[in-house]
Amino acid sequence: MRTLIPVLCCATLAAQTAPDTAGKLTVDGDIAAPLTLTVADLAKMPRETATLSEMDGSKIAYEGVALTEILRRAGIPFGKEMRGKALAGYLLVEARDGYQVVFSLGELDPGVGGTTVIVADRRDGKPLSAQQGPIRLVVSSDKRPARSVRMVDRLHVVELRK
Ligand SMILES: Nc1nc2c(c(=O)[nH]1)N[C@H]1C(S)=C(S)[C@@H](COP(=O)(O)O)O[C@H]1N2
Ligand SMILES: [Mo]
């Protein structure tokens, strides 16, 4: 029992001093304006809906914010500037369980690839479950929902234009 006490103390201390990132979405990397978004922040942004066909064939309605809207706020220059070396840039999406996927900035640009990705926080009108959220991606046009990342906690931009 005696050895257990310091362990418990340290665990309590660590919990108090760890940065409070639970439930937040960090947008960072090679961008002008890194940001951190909560579900409350997403609620104040322009809202979009999207349907996801799950592996069992059922279609679920999700609601959230367009990924391009979030990346624009972080300083990604979609539009005229998405040419030349900018087209080598990509977005690494990371989830709480370690799952990672990549989107190229060119495929996300509405004037180039135009792939619609929603950063969703509601499913059938309700907040997402702990296994899904609080925030997930919905990529309706993918043939399998493999890049519809659940439990997203980081959007990391890599620009190769340097
Ligand atoms: N965080 C996270 N998201 C993920 C995955 C994962 O392992 N972790 N798997 C992906 C894959 S390969 C598929 S097919 C779908 C499966 O969604 P489901 O687990 O809700 O059926 O989630 C995607 N999103
Ligand atoms: Mo999958």
Give the pLDDT confidence of 2-19 residue by residue, as tens digits. 544 444 444 444 444 444
Q: Which residue has the tokens 């900035």?
A: 105
Q: Is residue 117 in a domain?
A: yes
160 CA from centroid of ligand 1 (Å)? 28
pLDDT at 53 over 90: no
Q: Is residue 4 in a domain?
A: no
| CATH number of the CATH domain containing 43 | 3.90.420.10
Closest CA to 134 of 111, 116, 153, 118: 153
Question: How far is C-alpha 23 from the geometric centre of its chain's CA atoms?
Answer: 11
- Cα angle for residues 60, 43, 124 (degrees, 5° grid): 20
Which numbered atom of ligand 1 lies nearest the CA of 55?
A: 21
Residue pair 84/135 in contact (Cβ under 8 Å)? The answer is no
Query: Residue 162 has what pLDDT?
Result: 61
5 CA from centroid of ligand 1 (Å)? 39
Q: Is residue 40 in a domain?
A: yes
pLDDT tens-digit map of 75-103: 998 999 999 999 999 999 999 999 999 99
Q: Is the Cβ atom of 146 under 6 angstroms away from ligand 1? A: yes
Number of domains in the chain: 1
Q: Is residue 35 in a domain?
A: yes
Quickly list H helices, the chain: 4-17, 39-43, 67-73, 105-108
User: Which domain covers residue 107, as residue numbers?
Assistant: 23-159
Query: Residue 94 has what pLDDT?
Result: 98
Query: Residue 14 has what pLDDT?
Result: 47
Which pTM value belongs to this model? 0.87
Q: Is residue 8 in a domain?
A: no
151 CA from centroid of ligand 2 (Å)? 15
